[in-house]
């Protein structure tokens, strides 16, 4: 029985992620820029890109601002 730690799909994803990061000498800014470029290329081809839902804004009330200040 395989666990999540040694699942073949997870192992493959980690290997691909590591290979991609190695191409950019593990520079997170370069990796992020490349991923944004790839995303833009897919969008230009008409491939739908799923966007995360917008974050809920925190209410800006006096009660909320002080509620957690004393912890």
Q: What is the pLDDT of residue 14?
A: 94
Max Cα-Cα span within the chain: 54
At residue 49, the pLDDT reads 85
Give the per-residue pLDDT at 44.
Answer: 96
- Please report, for residues 12, 22, 33, 36, the alpha-carbon distance to residue 43 in angstroms, rounded to integers and kept in the order given: 25, 25, 15, 10
First to last CA, the chain: 45
Name the residue range of residue 58's domain.
4-67
**How many distinct structural domains can be found in the chain?**
1
pTM of the model: 0.62
pLDDT in tens, the chain (71 residues): 566 677 899 999 999 999 999 999 999 999 999 999 999 999 999 998 888 888 877 666 665 556 555 55
DSSP 5: G
């Amino acid at each position: 029985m395989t666990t999540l730690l040694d699942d073949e799909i997870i192992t493959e994803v980690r290997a691909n992620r590591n290979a991609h990061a190695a191409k950019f000498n593990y520079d997170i800014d370069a990796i992020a820029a490349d991923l944004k470029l790839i995303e833009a290329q897919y969008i230009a081809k008409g491939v739908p890109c799923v966007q995360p839902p917008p974050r809920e804004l925190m209410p800006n009330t006096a009660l909320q601002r002080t509620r957690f200040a004393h912890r």
